[in-house]
Amino acid sequence: MLRELGAKVIDADQLAREIVQPGQEAWKEIVEAFGKEILRQDQSINREKLRRIVFQDEKARKRLEAITHP
């Protein structure tokens, strides 16, 4: 609706996916913080593995948030 009225709309989910693509700075920090075990063969982050880690450990969740929401 806002877009139809001429407002600039930002897709935060899309931006979040872009910053964790292989080679991006946030990707590097996440791999450094959580290890290569969270990577798929194509070097993308296995979101399910990362999700399990951060939902079981408050400190890990805060670390991920500090990387992705500085």
Give φ, ψ of 51 to 5 degrees: -60, -45
28 or 19: which leads in pLDDT: 28
Report yes or no on 1 lying in a domain. no
Report yes or no on 7 lying in a domain. no
Mean pLDDT (whole number) for 39-43:
97
Report yes or no on 45 lying in a domain. yes
pLDDT at 43 (0 to 100): 97
Report yes or no on 19 lying in a domain. yes
Report yes or no on 6 lying in a domain. no
Report yes or no on 26 lying in a domain. yes
Domain that holds residue 59: 12-68
Report yes or no on 38 lying in a domain. yes
Mean pLDDT (whole number) for 24-43:
97
Question: If pLDDT is split at 50, 70 and 90, which confidence band does 22 have?
Answer: very high
Looking at every residue in the chain, the average pLDDT score rounds to 92
pLDDT at 49 (0 to 100): 98
Cα–Cα distances in angstroms (integers) from residue 19 to residues 27, 28, 51, 69, in the given order:
7, 10, 17, 11
Q: Is the pLDDT of residue 9 over 90?
A: no
